[in-house]
Chains A and B, each alone.
Chain A
Amino acid sequence: SEASLVRLYRRFRDLDRNKKGYLCRTDLRQIGALAVNPLGDRIIESFFTDGSYSVDFSGFVRVLAHFRPVDDEELQDPKAPEPLNSRMNKLRFAFQLYDLDRDGKISRHEMLQVLRLMVGVQVTEEQLESITDRTVQEADEDGDGAVSFLEFVKSLEKMDIEQKMSIRILK
């Protein structure tokens, strides 16, 4: 809605410290609560597509649009492109956080990396490896040792993604 866009625009301007008109990685890293989030860096990366150094307001909003709550009353027009906050797109966004090299699969190595980010130095290498192996085994159906996007979707089919990956903006 228009009011929410105005709010997001002011937020964009507040984050843009040097009034450059766009955000760069350092601007986002300055947010204290984001810097303590173990996946903070990955989340920041998701804003900068194709290795660019800046994100403007439309890019900013496009990423945040993934988190718009799903509106049941919206009529699904089969010919229109899928809205950004659909279930599939939300899942695709989360998949991106795992799949760094964007090859469409989460390899065992990538899974290990994400886990390492989330636990830091608190867990030993062996424990982490066994956790990774188990997870990949559970989700991997075609036995190629990696979790593809479809396998990812299937393992989460019961989850209420729409609610868990949505942020509601107050009026």
Chain B
Amino acid sequence: MFLLLPFDSLIVNLLGISLTVLFTLLLVFIIVPAIFGVSFGIRKLYMKTLLKIFAWATLRMERGAKEKNHQLYKPYTNGIIAKDPTSLEEEIKEIRRSGSSKALDNSAEFELSDIFYFCRKGMETIMDDEVTKRFSAEELESWNLLSRTNYNFQYISLRLTVLWGLGVLIRYCFLLPLRIALAFTGISLLVVGTTVVGYLPNGRFKEFLSKHVHLMCYRICVRALTAIITYHDRKNRPRNGGICVANHTSPIDVIILASDGYYAMVGQVHGGLMGVIQRAMVKACPHIWFERSEVKDRHLVAKRLTEHVQDKSKLPILIFPEGTCINNTSVMMFKKGSFEIGATVYPVAIKYDPQFGDAFWNSSKYGMVTYLLRMMTSWAIVCSVWYLPPMTRETDEDAVQFANRVKSAIARQGGLVDLLWDGGLKREKVKDTFKEEQQKLYSKMIAGNHEDRSRS
């Protein structure tokens, strides 16, 4: 009996020591490279291994489903229904042609059958429209061992369930605490570092230190999320006096971009932890934080942005013109505010690979904390960042056209669908002007032909 007690405490001690050593080693392996911006390539290896496992898992699932004769729910990416991409005029002409017995060389004014076109188009949009599906997470082709993405969650095989269980264990018990520790380190270093730098007198040294403190902390945060980022065309990186514009999928976009470049942030002043971070960051270098009341005043916003941009010593501004988070399969309308200022625009395209963890923030479904937890319990966040060559507004373009041009470039590079719809449709109704356009098209058909008839 007496021998057991010291033995017990010995085991506990050993356990404690080994865990601490393990954690410290890991932290060192991860933080030191972060400080110098070097990488050991551990994450890439991790990614490759995971891919192999996922492929195997999907094969097992398909085989299992065939054996049991279940129907697997296959996700679709191109829409539920078969649509014909014809215009309003063509469709209506075809309807009339097929229904009418008279020989028509010129389309008639109006037929009862015209209604079928609108009716069917309306029904099609009810079944599947371009916008609503952009606000929910993308569906995956093959399973990635996270129960949140599995739509066929039935018991398929023992091996698969064991693998999944192992995955859960690794993610929640090993990766999650590690990531939280890293995130904590990163944020506190940022706050402390920027405050300290803020006490230095203005000058080259302060700039240098500030830049490196920022970069270092963002790199630590990147590792806290196990984000594996591939940067393309780094020669096109934004320079002072420019505006950096990117598509928005989640708040993590900021961390991803800021870990590779030194930007001035724009945003609303928050309370709580975010507020502390914001105030600390401002001490080291000028960022643009707006009070909640100022956000509504578009002229004020534009004025402050212009002032910042014109000062060549200030950093490039980072802006997300979509205004809301989109699920990374498409790019929605860019708000024209940032394009009216007249500075050089550096477009950046960010494309996430949802296989390892979907980064989309569905703000109506998850709050910020839940979202971060989900991020930290995914396998990894894999994305590609493309820096596109800078663009300026042409003399005969207005802000909206310029915004659309930049949007198309980003969509093309990232392989995303370019939509004209407004991201604000997530919460608001569409404007009546679009309806009038449809009405105009139709009335041209009817009334225009009426004029022909009355003339002849």
Interface residues in chain A, defined as those with a beta carbon under 8 Å from any beta carbon in chain B = 2-3, 6-8, 11, 14-15, 17, 28-40, 43, 64, 67, 93-94, 97-98, 114-115, 118-123, 127, 130-131, 134-135, 139, 147, 152, 155-156, 158-161, 164-165, 167-170
Docked-complex contact B439 and A165, CB < 8 angstroms: no
Q: Is B129 positioned at the interface, with any CB of A under 8 Å from its CB?
A: yes
Residues of chain A within 8 A of B128, CB atoms compared: 11
CB proximity to A under 8 Å, residues B114-131 = 114-131
Bound Cα distance from A94 to B123, whole angstroms: 12
6 contacts between A and B (CB under 8 A): A32-B130, A33-B129, A35-B435, A98-B115, A119-B439, A164-B95
Q: Is B290 positioned at the interface, with any CB of A under 8 Å from its CB?
A: no
The chain B residue sitting closest to A168, CB to CB, is: B82
Residues of chain A within 8 A of B114, CB atoms compared: 118
Docked-complex contact B442 and A170, CB < 8 angstroms: no
The B interface, classified by DSSP as helix, strand, loop or mixed, is: helix
Docked-complex contact A37 and B122, CB < 8 angstroms: yes
Docked-complex contact A115 and B120, CB < 8 angstroms: no
Assess A30 versus B133: contact at CB under 8 Å? Given A43-B123, A123-B443. Answer: no
Bound Cα distance from A76 to B111, whole angstroms: 31
Name the distance in Å between B148's Cβ and chain A's nearest Cβ.
15
Q: Is B455 positioned at the interface, with any CB of A under 8 Å from its CB?
A: no
Bound Cα distance from A119 to B118, whole angstroms: 12
Interface-located stretch among B71-79, B369-377, B383-391: B71-79
Interface-located stretch among B96-104, B177-185, B219-227, B241-249: B96-104
Q: Is B421 positioned at the interface, with any CB of A under 8 Å from its CB?
A: yes
Docked-complex contact A39 and B126, CB < 8 angstroms: no
Residues of chain B within 8 A of A35, CB atoms compared: 429-430, 434-435
Assess A165 versus B425: contact at CB under 8 Å? Given A7-B76, A64-B126, A135-B110. Answer: no
CB proximity to A under 8 Å, residues B394-446 = 421, 425, 429-430, 434-440, 442-444, 446
Contact of B119 among A2, A94, A135 (CB under 8 A): A94
The chain B residue sitting closest to A164, CB to CB, is: B116
The A interface, classified by DSSP as helix, strand, loop or mixed, is: helix
Contact of B112 among A34, A152, A169, A170 (CB under 8 A): A152
Name the distance in Å between B420's Cβ and chain A's nearest Cβ.
10
Docked-complex contact B126 and A31, CB < 8 angstroms: yes
Bound Cα distance from A33 to B131, whole angstroms: 8
Bound Cα distance from A27 to B456, whole angstroms: 48
Residues of chain B within 8 A of A30, CB atoms compared: 132, 425, 429
Name the distance in Å between B69's Cβ and chain A's nearest Cβ.
13
Assess A15 versus B78: contact at CB under 8 Å? Given A159-B98, A165-B119, A167-B123. Answer: no
Contact of B421 among A32, A122, A130, A164 (CB under 8 A): A32
Docked-complex contact A67 and B443, CB < 8 angstroms: no
The 9 closest A-B pairs by CB, nearest first: A159-B99, A120-B439, A122-B443, A119-B443, A43-B122, A33-B125, A36-B434, A39-B118, A35-B430
The chain A residue sitting closest to B421, CB to CB, is: A32
Q: Is B136 positioned at the interface, with any CB of A under 8 Å from its CB?
A: yes
Bound Cα distance from A169 to B132, whole angstroms: 18
Besides A35-B434, A94-B119, 18 other CB < 8 A contacts?
A: A6-B73, A7-B76, A15-B132, A32-B130, A38-B438, A38-B439, A64-B123, A67-B123, A93-B119, A94-B115, A118-B442, A118-B443, A119-B443, A120-B439, A122-B447, A131-B450, A158-B98, A167-B127
Residues of chain A within 8 A of B421, CB atoms compared: 32
Docked-complex contact B101 and A32, CB < 8 angstroms: no
Docked-complex contact A156 and B99, CB < 8 angstroms: yes
Q: Is B141 positioned at the interface, with any CB of A under 8 Å from its CB?
A: no
Residues of chain A within 8 A of B80, CB atoms compared: 7-8, 11, 169-170
Residues of chain B within 8 A of A34, CB atoms compared: 122, 125-126, 129
Docked-complex contact A167 and B120, CB < 8 angstroms: yes
Docked-complex contact A14 and B132, CB < 8 angstroms: yes
Residues of chain A within 8 A of B99, CB atoms compared: 156, 158-160
